[in-house]
Amino acid sequence: MFSQRFSATPRGARLARRLAVTELHAWGIPHGTETSDSAAAIVAELAANAVTHGRVPGRDFELRLSLVTGSVRIEVSDTRGGPPCPPGPGGVRHPEVLEESGRGLVLVDALAARWEVLDRDPPPGKTVRAEVDVPRWLSLARAPTGGATAG
């Protein structure tokens, strides 16, 4: 498992994405694979949302990555509590063609095998959890540390 807090700034969001890809590579999911690219895009969108919509002055957001059976789990938590809460799967509104924002959760919905919005534990705030399936999971799970590849 990988867990790290980041400043709720654009720089923190960029760093979260870069460290996530580096961590996945260390776990045997190489840079440039579909799994790595999908996870990177999801981390980027959720981190940007945490910075833009979930920011509370003086509080960080947190990124957690873990390997669960058959997938990479991505969790981004912020400390903004109360409404409005982001929509969950099936509730994401597709933006109009000329709208300048509103595409982040559309991308998460398209790239993640599963995702959900949860109350943050401990409160206050929320966690968006997404999972990206890992092809060839068994070869990744059985390989020695650092020696597996998955795509």
Phi first, then psi, for residue 11 (nearest 5°) are -65, -40
Domains and CATH numbers, the chain: 2-142 (3.30.565.10)
Residues 6+ apart with CB under 8 A from 116: 88, 89, 128, 129
Compute and round to an integer the Cα radius of gyration of the chain. 15
Q: Give the pLDDT score at 95.
A: 59
8 — pLDDT class (breaks 50, 70, 90)? very high
On whether the pTM is more than 0.75, the answer is: yes
Per-residue model confidence (pLDDT) at position 57: 80
Interval 116-140: pLDDT, tens = 999 998 888 999 999 999 987 655 5
Query: In this predicted model, what pLDDT tens digit does every residue of 68-108 receive, in sequence order?
Result: 989 999 999 998 877 667 767 776 666 566 555 556 788 99
CA distance 20 to 74: 9
From 56, 62, 64, select the one nearest 39 (Cα to Cα): 64
- What percent of the chain has a predicted confidence (pLDDT) above 70? 78
